[in-house]
Amino acid sequence: MNIGVIGSGNIGANAAKLFAQAGHKVAISNSKGPQSLSQLVSEIGPNARAATNEEVVRFGDVILLAIPWSQRTSLPPAQMFESKIVIDATNPYNKDQNGNFQVEQLNNTTSSEEILKQIPGTRLVKGFNTMYFETLKTSSKSSPDERLVIFIAGDDSEAKGVVAQLIEDIGFAAVDTGFLSEGGRRQQPGSPIYNVPMTVEQAKQALANLP
C-alpha cells in the first residue's frame, strides 16, 4: 500500500519507518521541505522517499497526519484529500507564553472532529495519538499475544478496518474506541487510556471501566 506521512517528528518518522519495514511504500513530508528529509529517508531505506505535503497527499492511499496542532491550518487544499483514508494523530496541544505545552479545551468537540471540518469528505480515522513515540519506536511485537494497543476511532467501518490492518502489519494491535465523537473523546489527552501501554485485554478492561 502507498502511505503518505505528513509530519516527520517523533510519531511521523517512527510510523514511517515501521510502515516501510512492513513492506509498504512511504512518502513523507514536513514543513521544511523534502531536502531536509534526506537523512531520515536514507535511514528508512528504499521503500521511502521525501516529498512535499501536496505530493504526499497525491501519493497516499492512506495519509497519516502527524503534525503539531498549530500546523493544522497549513495542510494542502481540502479537495486533495477527497475520499482518502486519513489517520489523524493530532492532539490539541498548544504552547503557552512560557513555552509549556497545554491542552486546548475543545468543549463539545474533539481534535479529530475539528480536523474533519477542515478536510471534509475524507474517511478520517483517529489513531496513533495515544501512544508515546518511544513505545511506538521500540515495542513492535511479532506475537499477537504480546502486542500493545494502538486505539482507533471513526465513523467509517471500512476505513477503520484498513487502518487496523496497517497497525497489525507493524506489530501492534488495533482496538476500536467507537465513533469519532465518543471514541475520539476517549482518546483525548488526559483520558485513562491516553499514553498508557496496554495489551488488548487490558485495553478492553480499561474501556469497559470508562463512563
Predicted confidence at residue 197, as pLDDT, reads 97
pLDDT tens-digit series, residues 18-32 = 999 999 999 999 999
Predicted confidence at residue 108, as pLDDT, reads 83
- Considering 50-64, 80-94, 102-116, the range whose residues carry the highest mean pLDDT is 50-64
Q: How far is CA 16 from the centre of its chain?
A: 11
Contact between 76 and 67 (Cβ < 8 Å): no
Q: What distances in angstroms separate CA 133 from CA 1, 75, 129, one per listed residue? A: 23, 22, 9
Average pLDDT over residues 178-205: 94
CA distance 192 to 153: 16
SS3 97: coil
Judged against a pLDDT cut of 80, whether residue 99 lies above it is answered with: no
Q: Give just the sign of the alpha carbon dihedral 60, 63, 68, 72.
A: positive
The residue ranges of every structural domain in the chain are 2-208
SS3 194: coil
CA distance 58 to 52: 10
- Reading the block at residue 80, the C-alpha cell is 486533495
Average pLDDT over residues 169-183: 96
Q: Where are the alpha helices (DSSP H) in 53-110?
A: 53-59
CA distance 200 to 184: 18
Average pLDDT over residues 134-150: 95
pLDDT tens-digit series, residues 65-76 = 999 998 898 899
Please state the CATH superfamily assignment of the domain spanning residues 2-208 in this structure.
NAD(P)-binding Rossmann-like Domain (3.40.50.720)
Judged against a pLDDT cut of 80, whether residue 49 lies above it is answered with: yes
The model's confidence at residue 101, banded by pLDDT at 50, 70 and 90, is: confident
Judged against a pLDDT cut of 80, whether residue 33 lies above it is answered with: yes
pLDDT over 90, % of the chain: 86
**Helix, strand, coil content of the chain in percent (nearest 5):** 40, 20, 40
pLDDT over 70, % of the chain: 98
Residue 5 phi, psi (nearest 5): -125, 115
Instruction: Please work out, in degrees rounded to the nearest 5, the angle formed at the alpha carbon of residue 139 by the alpha carbons of 210 and 2.
Output: 95
CA distance 175 to 196: 14
Residue 15 phi, psi (nearest 5): -65, -40
Residue 8 phi, psi (nearest 5): -120, 25
Q: How far is CA 90 from the centre of its chain?
A: 7
Average pLDDT over residues 35-51: 97
pTM score of the predicted model:
0.94
Predicted confidence at residue 109, as pLDDT, reads 87
Judged against a pLDDT cut of 90, whether residue 105 lies above it is answered with: no
